Amino acid sequence: MQTETDTKTKIKNYIIESTFDDVEKIKDDTLIFEEGILDSMGLLFLIEFLQEEFNLTTSDEELVVENFQSINSIIAFIESKM
């Protein structure tokens, strides 16, 4: 079973690798859309990554920015699905 730290690391690494952004810029509470780190297409790719990596299914109602606005909110979303 993965720990929350392992999950955070996977998510952060995915965001950094897909955006080529500075690792120091992305903290657990960084608002990744407001900071311009991800855009709407980036959100779709992030959701696809989360579905594959963590074996999640998401409903249309769950596809809101609030669930994916920071690493902390993504972790909370994943935990709510398990």
Cα pseudo-dihedral 39, 36, 64, 66, rounded to 10 = 170
Q: Where are the domains of the chain?
A: 4-14+27-81
Question: Can you give the pLDDT at residue 5?
Answer: 82
In this structure, how many other beta carbons lie within 10 angstroms of the beta carbon of residue 46? 19
**Predicted local distance difference test score (pLDDT) of residue 81:** 87
Write out the chain's pLDDT in tens, 82 residues: 568 788 999 999 999 888 877 767 789 999 999 999 989 899 999 999 999 999 999 999 998 889 999 999 999 999 998 8
The tokens for 50 are 């989360």
From the options 3.40.50.720, 1.10.1200.10, 3.90.1170.40, 3.40.50.620, give the CATH code of 4-14+27-81: 1.10.1200.10
